[in-house]
Structure 1
Amino acid sequence: MSTLYVTATEQRRKKRAYIVIAALSSLIIISFMISMNTGYIRLSPLDVLKTLFGGGTEKQELILFDFRLPRIVISVLIGAGFAVSGAIIQGLSRNPLADPGLLGINAGASLAVVLFISFYPATERGSIFLMPFLALLGAALTALLIFAFSYKRSHGLMPTRMILVGIAFAAGISATIQILQIRLDPNQFQFIAVWMAGNIWGTNWKFVLALLPWLLFILPFVFYKAKVLDALNLGDQLAAGLGAQVNKERAWLLAAAVGLAGSCVAVGGGIGFVGLIAPHVARRLVGPQHQALLPASALTGGLLVLVADTLGRWIIQPDGIPTGIVVAVIGAPYFLYLLSRSK
């Protein structure tokens, strides 16, 4: 009888997950269409459809294909990357308040990119594809230092200590970035200031091509490791008892989280809270099992950043508000809500 009950419960959970994922996908498609109509130069839905099928004017094709579509695609990719990275870190640390931004991983990636931009213009040929590698290097070094300071041989990984160490590293790196900004010329300073605020500055297909391979390679690997994340979330001893090679699996999954966060920072700048909010919303919708949680987090993060970017372009025209600021307006109250409920 109990076996039948468990099976029925599992089937209901899977059905709910399919419904949620389908609903999130539909919302992304709807937001995608709305975003194509939003901007300083307005394109009606009919104009968008005509342009998509080759019936638009040369100006409409330029606006849609060269400016809006790349930015919309990048928004979804960045949101998915940050969200899955946050879900991984929350699972590994068993801390619901952990995310790449809070732990300082995003700050480490930002420092590497700022150092690069300080000496090499980011708009030159080849730099677009080099920046994700540099961001990954900065994020990886920061993550290694954070986990080294958070790990005790007698207690293992200490989640609370990891949060405190991450906040300290993030503060120190942010101060270093501000010092570096002093030596920049006005154009570089303005670019980095806007980029650090979370402005999606890549508005052509080169940036899509620079980011897409990272997500196409890392996301399937993370989805494949969903059951391993479930085991690690139970604790090291139980995970080892279930046959997981705890240290090896944790290292691979941490590398995946760092790779996702670093590559997204390189293109999207300092967009915070996505890795915190999206996994929490997804967990409320589909439950804690990572086979459903990871894709739901990716879709939730993509939807969040896409909506934030669309609102940022619509509120103040023609300049707009950086996407990171809009996400922060949404994310900061939610973070305080989570903090008030945490034990």
Structure 2
Amino acid sequence: MNAKTLIIIASFLSTPAHAQGFAGLGTTADGFAVPDPNTQLTFPKDHGAHPDFRIEWWYLTATLKDEQQNPYGVQWTLFRLATSTDDGKGWNTPHIWMGHAAATSETDHVFAERIARGGIGQAGVESAPFSAWIDHWQLAESKETGTYSLHASSAGFSYDLKLLETGPLVLQGQDGYSIKSADGQASHYYSQPHFDAKGHIQFGDKRIPVQGNAWYDREWSSQPLSADQTGWDWFSLRFDTGAKLMGFVLRGEKENFTSGTWISPSGEPTPLAPGAFIAQPLHIHDVQGRTIPTHWQVELPEKDLSVEVKALNPNAWMGTNFSYWEGPVTVTGSHNGAGYLEMTGYE
């Protein structure tokens, strides 16, 4: 689940945050397409945009280390929101684009955002060869098969990474149909969690060579939440064994909904039934006037997994137009590793 969708909707719709699901994500999908469990995802077509749907995103996070094994994280996200089903060209296009980028260390967290209209070429996505961009920020396929480049820069930071695919795409949920609530709201959702990453991060004038791993998510829908869901906690965890876990908790006013996917070292996904993924806060941290759970106990009994997930930098607050917490995490316990955590709705 990518929380950045909420930022676009909250910025351009007037729906109160909790009246129709978190940030309006529970509003009806009048006139827009809705996910269909019988849809078969096809590539490279589905790497591109889906303008019949109201919301979608292209989202990459990376956990990295420098030559001294100091840890870092980067985030790059592009979103598209259709404000109506009307056709339009140029400045009159109904499609709004937003980008978020961040770089995080144990002591620093810097971020930036950009907003654009796709109809004037300022932002967009091409499916083959793949390219997603907003202004000079870009995630793009290289000439060599299975390789990509990633770039973002703003005041105070920048990063450039080369990405190499090392495993297959993962269809989340049931063949890419990911259920988000007991009421049946859903999205189309796939991931590429198998990337080696190498390049550099720059904080101010300090340029740091780094390498590690990256995780890429793609998701689109028109009404992904139910009306009572007030926020979520989303985990992407990579273990030293080579296995991986995506899991999320969608917090409802009456009850929570959890789901996820276990990914074997070879890349074989096992969808998790609602309730199988368990995440409980262990420590609350004060961040920008909010109390945020930055230390968690995560369990998956069917895989004998019980781990502590702890923020690398508890102050990784994204003070964007609609604020949220997102940053790299360490993983210790029955399985060791690293990953990313995204949390919304902590107002």
TM-score, scaled relative to structure 2 = 0.27
Q: Which has the larger radius of gyration?
A: 1
- Which structure carries more relative contact order (alpha carbon 8 Å, separation 6+)? 1
TM-score, scaled relative to structure 1 = 0.28
Higher helix share: 1
